[in-house]
């Protein structure tokens, strides 16, 4: 919990990924204590409190049910909290293989593309194990900057061994040495780097 709190206070939101490591053992410990409570009345009381906590927790997460059930099939109270599932990057997996390097903008693309087996030039989350993280982030900013020359973009692609570029059809799409391969949701385009 200290790591999660420190991450929240310092703006390192990725540290929140330590939360399950703190909460799951705590939940198991509470369940064991409830099961081993001395009197039957105490066990029933604790079980009711835990049941209420589970219902509240489930209600806060009910918007994610849209990942498995269509909005029209949900009760009205649940449909109000419905969140449209994110599209993801599965649309590019027929071409981009495990271990390929992808040039992607910072933010959602850089955070989600690695989930499909590819690497991004700059990490989507802070990575203190990557000694040249700042340099990589600068290279991505330069690559996607409006005034960057085609030559400089090509040098960046070669330096990091980039095989693919994902963009929304902006500055990268006008660069030489790229061939459009596929289109994804939100106007995203997958370009192959032509060597």
Among candidates 162, 22, 34, which has minimal Cα distance to 102? Answer: 162
Which residues are CB-neighbours of 3 under 8 A, at least 6 positions away? 15, 18, 22
Predicted structure pTM score: 0.66
- Averages of pLDDT over each 10 residues, the chain, 195 residues: 83 78 83 79 83 84 77 80 79 96 93 94 89 95 91 94 88 71 91 90
Quote the crossing angle between the two packed helices 133-144 and 150-159, to the nearest 10°.
Answer: 150
Q: CA 96, 101, 105, 106: dihedral to nearest 10 degrees?
A: 120
The first and second tokens of residue 130, run together, are: 């990557």
Rounded CA separation 194/178 (Å): 6
pLDDT for the residue numbered 20: 83
The DSSP symbol for 173 reads: G
Cβ–Cβ < 8 Å for 156, 136? no
pLDDT for the residue numbered 40: 82
Residue 164 pairs in a beta bridge with 102, 192
pLDDT for the residue numbered 132: 94
Cβ–Cβ < 8 Å for 155, 173? no
Cβ–Cβ < 8 Å for 139, 161? no
pLDDT for the residue numbered 136: 96
∠ at Cα 8 (6, 14), nearest 5°? 95
68 C-beta neighbours (distance < 10 Å), count: 7
Using DSSP's 3-state secondary structure scheme, residue 117 falls into coil
């Amino acid at each position: 919990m200290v790591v999660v709190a420190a991450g929240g206070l310092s703006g390192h939101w990725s540290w929140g990924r330590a939360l399950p490591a703190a909460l799951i053992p705590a939940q198991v410990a509470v369940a064991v204590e409830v099961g081993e409570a001395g009197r039957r009345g105490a066990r029933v009381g604790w079980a009711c409190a835990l049941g209420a906590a589970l219902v509240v927790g489930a209600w806060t997460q009910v918007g994610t049910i849209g990942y498995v059930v269509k909005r029209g099939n949900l009760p009205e109270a649940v449909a109000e909290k419905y969140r449209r599932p994110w599209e993801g990057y599965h649309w590019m997996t027929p071409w981009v293989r495990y271990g390929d390097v992808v040039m992607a903008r910072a933010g959602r693309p850089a955070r989600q593309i690695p989930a499909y087996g590819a690497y991004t030039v700059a990490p989507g989350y802070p990575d203190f194990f990557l000694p040249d993280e700042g340099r990589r982030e600068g290279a991505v900013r330069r690559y996607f900057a409006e005034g960057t020359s085609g030559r400089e973009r090509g040098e960046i692609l070669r330096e990091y061994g980039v095989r693919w570029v994902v963009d929304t059809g902006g500055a990268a799409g006008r660069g030489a040495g790229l061939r459009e391969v596929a289109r994804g949701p939100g106007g995203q385009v997958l370009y192959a780097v032509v060597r």
